[in-house]
Amino acid sequence: MPSQPANNPAGNTLPGVKNVVLIASGKGGVGKSTSAVNLALALAVDGAKVGLLDADIYGPSQGVMLGVPEGQRPGVEDQKYFVPIKALGIKSMSMAYLVDENSPMVWRGPMATGALRQILTQTRWGELDYLLVDMPPGTGDIQLTMSQTIAVSGAVIVTTPQDIALLDARKGIEMFNKVSIPVLGILENMSVHICCDCGKKTHIFGAEGGMNIARQYQTRLLGALPLDIDIRERADSGKPSVAADPESEISLLYRAAARELVSALQQLEQHETHGQNTQNSPGFSIHED
Ligand X SMILES: Nc1ncnc2c1ncn2[C@@H]1O[C@H](COP(=O)(O)OP(=O)(O)O)[C@@H](O)[C@H]1O
Asked if 33 interacts with Mg ion (CB under 5 A), we say: yes
Q: Residue 33: CB partners within 8 Å, gap ≥ 6?
A: 54, 56, 61, 62, 65, 134, 235
Asked if 222 interacts with ligand X (CB under 6 A), we say: no
- Region of residue 147 (phi > 0: left; psi between -120 and 50: alpha; otherwise: beta): alpha
CA distance 47 to 50: 9
The only residue of 54, 129, 168, 228 in contact with ligand X, by rule CB under 6 A: 228
DSSP state of 80: T
String of b and e for 161-170 (b: at least 16 CB within 10 Å)? Answer: bbeebbebbb
Nearer to Mg ion, 56 or 168 (CB): 56
CB of 56 to ligand X, least distance (A): 7
Asked if 165 interacts with ligand X (CB under 6 A), we say: no
CA distance 12 to 15: 9
- Is residue 166 within 8 A of residue 213, CB to CB? The reply is yes
Asked if 32 interacts with ligand X (CB under 6 A), we say: yes
Considering CB distances under 5 to 8 angstroms, the limit depending on partner class, which of Mg ion, ligand X, none binds residue 30? ligand X
Nearer to ligand X, 35 or 123 (CB): 35
Task: Annotate each residue in 112-151 with x if it binds ligand X (CB under 6 A) or - if it does not, as one string.
Answer: ----------------------------------------
Task: Annotate each residue in 234-253 with x if it binds ligand X (CB under 6 A) or - if it does not, as one string.
Answer: -xx-----------------
Applying CB under 5 A, the residues found at the interface with Mg ion are 32-33, 56
